[in-house]
Every structure is written in C-alpha cells, then in structure tokens.
C-alpha cells in the first residue's frame, strides 16, 4: 500500500485528489496539509468526504513532511510549489506537482510569464505529465509536472492534426470555456455565486493567460516548429468542465472521414480519450467527474477550416485525475487504476 501525501489539501484539486485516492485500491492517504485548516479533519472541511477519508489536515514544513509519505502531490499555488518540491525530492520521494512551476522547459519563458525560478535544474528533469504523449518518460520520472487544465484539452485535441502537419499553425484560434472550480476556492467577489450564475464572460483576452506558453511549448514540439496561438478563456456557470473549441486552416485536401479515422487510430487504445463518432460532439456533462477527454472533429468546407472540440472535467483529467494517472505510471500500477468510473450524468 503506497503512502501518499497531499500538500495543499483544502482546495478543489485537493478534495478531488482525496476523493479519487480514497477509492484507489493501491494507496492510502498518509498526510494532508493545509495552512488554513490545520488540525481540522479534511472531512470537516469537505463534508463530502465523511466516512470515506479520515485524515486530519496539518500545517507542516516541507522537511517535516517528507517522511510522512512515499509519494507526494503538491497542490499549492505556483511559486509555493518550487520551494517545497526540491525538499521532497532531496528526501528521495517522488512528486507530482500540480502547479505551473515545472511545466515550462525554457526557464526564461517561465520567468517571463510567471516570476523568477528558484530551481531551474529541476525544470530540466521534470517530465510533462500528459500520459498520452509522454507515457514512457513518466514511468521513469521522479518529478512530473502535471499539465494545466486548458492545455490538457487543447493538446489532446490538436495533437493528431499538428503532428501530421495537417493544419497551418499560424491560423490556430482556441476559444476555451472553463467551469468555475478552475478559479480556486479563495473567497473573492468575482466568483461569488451571484456574480457567476446565469452568466457568461471571457477573461484574460488578448494573449495574456498563463497557460499560453505551456500550450505553445507542446504544440511547437508536436509541430517541430514554433507555434503561436490565439487563446481566449471564458468562465462557465458550471462547477466542473472545460470545452475547448479550436479552429485552424487545413493545409491539405484531407476529408472529414480521413480526419475521423486519424483521431480514432491515434486514441483507440487510450483508456481516457474518447473520440466521438462522426457527427457527434463532446459536451462537458458527458465527462463530469471522470478522467475522460472527449474529442469531436468537424470540417467546415465553406472556409477550409477544421474545428476540433475537446471536453474534460477540469479538476479530474484537467488536474487531480490526471495526477493519479501519472502516479499509477510512476509507481508501476496499472495506469487506469482507480480512474475507470464512468462520468456522472445527469
């Protein structure tokens, strides 16, 4: 039984990690930290966990943490993560970091979008935790940088097109919509129920969202040339769910049927990527509460553009579910252990 620790257990990715791990046959949660809720049972912070999770939150320094578990998830804000992760690694632990701190391989790019990096050497070592692209590397990693929620949907959605050079990357327009859990669990007027419900808005328009360099890094690697994207995030009045709608000009005469076949072949053996049958489209309500990424492809013959739609649950496949998938790989467990539950609908 693997002893796992959750650093930063009181946010939405924390409670989702606890939910998934509580039903995972190969692990036990041996430590959970929270500054705000120190000494409080996690099931008191999140009553959904009653009778399922009995860990008590602690406020522990990184060095006091290390011997409390064999494997760690750091679910804390960027910048905080880069101070904790090196300590845990130094103690011989494996770590999955859910923040942005180890996702961007080019430290100067990281520092341009975030702030100075205190552990650039670990950046070089970290593996980008998208199993569908980096499965083998993840298996051997000590440190996995768990992908951002938007990037997960975008990279899985575009990978076949970009890798096969079927689109002109300069024409990429990505219009993404996320549930409000992506905004975190801090008290703020902007995410109060009454400000969000029955409404819809964009935010960080004009190429300013911090997930952009992460997406461009991975798309550029797939394209084998620099890719710059237009990316606009929006806030949905739902708790969970991302739908990314992606547009690009096709560079060849490929048919919709051939594209469909390409996607189906690419993801056929993936347990968590589901290509919608021709003519049907993904929806966030069909992936809710699961580690699935659903992808649909359509061609607009009038304009020569392909439109790809990818749906995930932002705190499952977009965060905690994918983290557990990575943990399974890093620890030699069957990749899908604890993650095969079907989405909750309705």
Q: Which residues are catalytic?
A: 149
Quick check: 254 binds a second copy (CB under 8 A)? no
| Minimum separation from the CB atom of position 155 to a second copy (A) | 18
Question: Which of 51, 121, 140, 332 is the binder for a second copy (CB under 8 A)?
Answer: 51
Quick check: 284 binds a second copy (CB under 8 A)? yes
Q: Give the span between the Cα atoms of 298 and 300, in whole angstroms.
A: 7
Question: Which of 33, 34, 119, 180 is the binder for a second copy (CB under 8 A)?
Answer: 180
Cβ distance to a second copy smaller for residue 200 or 334: 200
DSSP 148-191: PHHHHHHHHHHHHHHHTT-B-GGG-EEEEEE-GGGG-SS--GGG
Residues between 58 and 97 that touch a second copy (CB under 8 A): none
Quick check: 18 binds a second copy (CB under 8 A)? yes
Cβ distance to a second copy smaller for residue 245 or 331: 245
Binding-site size, a second copy (CB under 8 A)? 93
Quick check: 118 binds a second copy (CB under 8 A)? no
| Minimum separation from the CB atom of position 14 to a second copy (A) | 11
Cα separation values, 130 from 9, 26, 215, 258, Å: 22, 21, 12, 25
Mask of contacts with a second copy, 221-250, x by CB under 8 A?
-------xxx-x-x-xxxxxx-x-x-x---
Question: Which of 1, 39, 121, 193 is the binder for a second copy (CB under 8 A)?
Answer: 193
CA quadruple 246, 252, 253, 255: dihedral sign: negative
The contacts found for 277-283 with CB under 8 angstroms, 24 or more apart, are 281/309, 282/243, 282/309, 282/310, 282/311, 283/243, 283/311
| Minimum separation from the CB atom of position 171 to a second copy (A) | 8
State how far Cα 180 lies from the chain centre.
15
Find the helix packing angle between 321-330 and 131-139, rounded to 10°. 40
Quick check: 195 binds a second copy (CB under 8 A)? yes
Cβ distance to a second copy smaller for residue 86 or 237: 237
What is the DSSP-derived secondary structure letter of residue 342? P
β-pair partners for 119 = none
Alpha-carbon torsion angle 52, 54, 56, 62, nearest 10: -80
Cβ distance to a second copy smaller for residue 70 or 195: 195
| Minimum separation from the CB atom of position 69 to a second copy (A) | 20
Quick check: 115 binds a second copy (CB under 8 A)? no
């Amino acid at each position: 039984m693997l002893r796992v620790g959750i650093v930063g257990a009181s946010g939405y990715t924390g409670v989702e990690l606890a939910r998934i791990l509580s039903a995972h046959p190969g692990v036990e949660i041996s430590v959970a930290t929270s500054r705000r809720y120190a000494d409080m049972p996690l099931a008191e912070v999140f009553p959904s966990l009653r009778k399922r999770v009995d860990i008590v939150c602690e406020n522990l320094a990184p060095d006091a943490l290390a011997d409390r578990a064999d494997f760690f998830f750091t679910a804390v804000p960027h910048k905080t993560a880069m101070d904790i992760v090196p300590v845990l690694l130094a103690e011989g632990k494996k770590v999955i970091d859910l923040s942005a701190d180890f996702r961007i391989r080019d430290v100067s790019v990281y520092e341009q979008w975030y702030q100075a990096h205190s552990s650039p050497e670990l950046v070089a070592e970290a593996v980008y935790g998208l199993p569908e692209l980096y499965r083998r590397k993840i298996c051997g990693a000590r440190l996995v940088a768990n992908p951002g929620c938007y990037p997960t949907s975008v990279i899985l959605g575009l990978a076949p097109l970009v890798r096969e050079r079927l689109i002109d990357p300069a024409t990429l327009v990505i219009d993404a919509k996320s549930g409000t859990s992506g905004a975190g669990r801090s008290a703020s007027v902007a995410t109060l129920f009454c400000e969000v419900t029955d409404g819809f808005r964009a935010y960080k328009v004009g190429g300013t969202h911090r997930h952009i360099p992460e997406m461009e890094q991975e798309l550029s690697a797939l394209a084998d040339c620099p890719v710059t994207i237009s990316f606009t995030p929006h806030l949905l009045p739902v708790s969970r769910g991302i739908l990314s709608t992606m547009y690009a000009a096709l560079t060849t005469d490929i048919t919709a049927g051939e594209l469909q076949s390409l996607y189906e072949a690419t993801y056929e053996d993936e347990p968590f990527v589901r290509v919608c049958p021709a003519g049907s489209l993904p929806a966030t309500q069909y992936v809710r509460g699961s580690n699935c990424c659903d992808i649909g492809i359509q061609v607009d013959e009038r304009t020569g553009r392909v439109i790809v739609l990818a749906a995930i649950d932002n705190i499952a496949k977009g965060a905690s579910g994918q983290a557990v998938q990575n943990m399974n790989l890093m620890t030699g467990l069957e990749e899908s252990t604890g993650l095969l539950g079907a989405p909750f609908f309705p």
